[in-house]
Chains A and B, each alone.
Chain A
Amino acid sequence: MVIVFQSKPSILASSAVAGPLEKKSVFYSYFDSVVEDERWNEKTNEQGHAKMILEASNIVMKKANIENLDVDYFLSGDLVNQMTPSNFAARELAISFIGLFSACATSVSSVIIASLLTELGASQYAIAGAASQHNAIERQFRYPNYYGGPKPATSQWTVTAAGYALVGKHNPEYPSIVAATVGKVVDYGDVNPMHMGGAMAPAAFDTITAHLKKRNQKFQDYDLIMTGDLGKIGLKILKAMLAQTGVKPEELQLLRDAGAEFYGEDEAFLAGASGAGCSASVYFSYIIQQLKTGRFKRVLLCATGALLSPLSFQQGESIPCTAHAIEMTME
């Protein structure tokens, strides 16, 4: 489903906060803050996770020179059971809050909802974004952090990072959201939770092609199309799928993936980065800054999410995936 925003809501401020390991990220220099302790000096990983979300939200407000009372909505999601880190951060923020779960696509789905609220006139300022904390996600979805189970070359490293954006009324000096596509849930029967890129690529394909078709656009209309966390192998699969439908190799060069690039070529991270904070921290730091400087004029951000739970794959269910996209421009 494609939404065209008549009022073109703008991203008035954005922030990215990351953990210590994310110093290895190629996007490191764009992050606002990097914390030395991955638990943010709290007792548990989950508390640290909540503190990271809180810190990212506070930076957004500080940048826009506003306070909690000025913000109408806080839209956030993460991957921990029942999204307690977002809930607990919202408790501290005391802003009207809707928790959203689109797995790693929450970075974009939250911005879509914020844009709709803004267009409706219901929101002056809304903070939207997503986060993930490696240890908390790893222990929940896979194994204890110090368990010596091997990971295959297809598996990805959940990042410790948060990315948040302040969505407000249109302002020509800031990047604006002109259209969005809410993705369907796509499932091609993949069952391997250590190969998320392979499970998610069809969802990205579905959303990107639907968006371009409905908007009557081509790849060349964009300076960049960036998926969320397909990883190195998932990106290759997506490119192969697009090539089959007649997209030319030079057009495919416009397609990049935040997860595939996040940790550079470091092989220790296997197929690249993943997690809700992966796309969020890259979109709301690097991409926004590139739009602001005018290097990009029009981008399509398509975040992908694998909608599984630790129980669902043990019960033999396949992995349903989704992808949400926003089209952003800079005048």
Chain B
Amino acid sequence: MIFIDFLIAFVIGGIICLIGQLIMDYGKLTPGHTLSILVVAGSIFSGLGLYQPLIDLAGAGATIPITSFGHSLTQGAIAEAEKHGWVGVLTGMFEVTSSGISAAIVFGFIAAFIFKPKGKVN
């Protein structure tokens, strides 16, 4: 049973990345463009109420891809909007999703003092 759970996470996560790859290759877009499109897509799916079921189904398969970033920002905004009306749309966004950004900032800051980039070939 736990194997199936992992398999679903693998497949759903893989499919989201595959869609990203197709957007990148067919659209001839940079990673920056591709990720922006995926974040917006995640936010829209979240607004339609479709992203939470995907997380319930696939767990990390849906929370690890960047689409979930759009989802949690949107859920944060919607949850606060429900409580506080118009003001909540602005104030609630980072309620749910702060960990990704703060972790990236902290680890980025630390890494900058430890590592030196080199011209390594693939």
Q: Say whether A21 contacts B117, CB under 8 Å.
A: no
Q: Which of A144, A146, A192, A268 contacts B121 (CB 8 A)?
A: A268
Q: A239: shortest Cβ distance to chain B, in Å?
A: 26
Known contacts: A135-B117, A144-B117, A146-B117. The answer to whether A268 contacts B31 by CB under 8 A is: no
Q: Can you name the residue of chain A whose Cβ is closest to the Cβ of B24?
A: A150
Beta-carbon contacts under 8 Å, B35-80 to A: none
Query: Once bound together, how far apart are the Cα atoms of A326 and B53, in whole Å?
Result: 67
Beta-carbon contacts under 8 Å, A123-166 to B: 134-135, 138-139, 144-146, 149-150, 157, 160
Q: Say whether A157 contacts B121, CB under 8 Å.
A: yes
Tell me if A286 is interfacial: C-beta within 8 Å of chain B. no
CB neighbours (8 Å) of A134 from chain B are: 119
Interface size class on chain A is: 10 to 19
Q: Say whether B121 contacts A135, CB under 8 Å.
A: no
Q: Say whether B121 contacts A269, CB under 8 Å.
A: yes
A-B contact pairs, 14 of them (CB 8 A): A19-B119, A38-B119, A134-B119, A135-B117, A135-B118, A135-B119, A139-B117, A145-B117, A145-B119, A149-B30, A149-B31, A268-B121, A268-B122, A269-B121
Binding site for B on A (CB under 8 A): 19, 21, 24, 38, 134-135, 138-139, 144-146, 149-150, 157, 160, 192, 266, 268-269
CB neighbours (8 Å) of A21 from chain B are: 119, 121
The number of chain B residues with a CB under 8 A from chain A is 10
Query: Once bound together, how far apart are the Cα atoms of A146 and B31, in whole Å?
Result: 14
Q: Can you name the residue of chain B whose Cβ is closest to the Cβ of A135?
A: B119
Query: Once bound together, how far apart are the Cα atoms of A153 and B121, in whole Å?
Result: 14
Beta-carbon contacts under 8 Å, B107-122 to A: 115, 117-122
Q: A308: shortest Cβ distance to chain B, in Å?
A: 15
Q: B32: shortest Cβ distance to chain A, in Å?
A: 9
Q: Say whether B119 contacts A160, CB under 8 Å.
A: yes
Could you give, for residues 83-122 of chain B, a 1 whenever the CB lies within 8 Å of some chain A CB and a 0 otherwise?
A: 0000000000000000000000000000000010111111
Query: Once bound together, how far apart are the Cα atoms of A24 and B122, in whole Å?
Result: 13
Query: Once bound together, how far apart are the Cα atoms of A203 and B93, in whole Å?
Result: 52
CB neighbours (8 Å) of B31 from chain A are: 149-150
Binding site for A on B (CB under 8 A): 28, 30-31, 115, 117-122
Q: Say whether B122 contacts A145, CB under 8 Å.
A: no
CB neighbours (8 Å) of A160 from chain B are: 119
Query: Once bound together, how far apart are the Cα atoms of A144 and B119, in whole Å?
Result: 10
Query: Once bound together, how far apart are the Cα atoms of A144 and B32, in whole Å?
Result: 13
Q: Say whether B119 contacts A138, CB under 8 Å.
A: yes
Query: Once bound together, how far apart are the Cα atoms of A62 and B119, in whole Å?
Result: 30
CB neighbours (8 Å) of A19 from chain B are: 119
CB neighbours (8 Å) of A138 from chain B are: 119
Q: Can you name the residue of chain B whose Cβ is closest to the Cβ of A136?
A: B119
Q: Can you name the residue of chain B whose Cβ is closest to the Cβ of A191?
A: B28
Query: Once bound together, how far apart are the Cα atoms of A24 and B118, in whole Å?
Result: 16
Query: Once bound together, how far apart are the Cα atoms of A215 and B48, in whole Å?
Result: 71
Q: Say whether B118 contacts A38, CB under 8 Å.
A: yes
Sorted nearest first, the 6 A-B pairs with minimum C-beta distance are: A145-B117, A134-B119, A268-B122, A268-B121, A146-B117, A149-B31
Q: B92: shortest Cβ distance to chain A, in Å?
A: 31
Query: Once bound together, how far apart are the Cα atoms of A293 and B58, in whole Å?
Result: 68
CB neighbours (8 Å) of B28 from chain A are: 192
Query: Once bound together, how far apart are the Cα atoms of A134 and B31, in whole Å?
Result: 21
Q: Can you name the residue of chain A whose Cβ is closest to the Cβ of B119?
A: A134
Other A-B contacts than A21-B121, A135-B119, A157-B121, 12 sampled, CB-CB below 8 A, are A19-B119, A21-B119, A24-B121, A135-B117, A135-B118, A139-B117, A145-B118, A145-B120, A150-B31, A160-B119, A192-B28, A268-B121
Q: Can you name the residue of chain A whose Cβ is closest to the Cβ of B28?
A: A192
CB neighbours (8 Å) of B122 from chain A are: 268
CB neighbours (8 Å) of A149 from chain B are: 30-31
Query: Once bound together, how far apart are the Cα atoms of A321 and B77, in whole Å?
Result: 49
Query: Once bound together, how far apart are the Cα atoms of A24 and B117, in whole Å?
Result: 20
Query: Once bound together, how far apart are the Cα atoms of A135 and B115, in whole Å?
Result: 14
CB neighbours (8 Å) of A135 from chain B are: 117-119
Q: B18: shortest Cβ distance to chain A, in Å?
A: 14
Q: B102: shortest Cβ distance to chain A, in Å?
A: 21
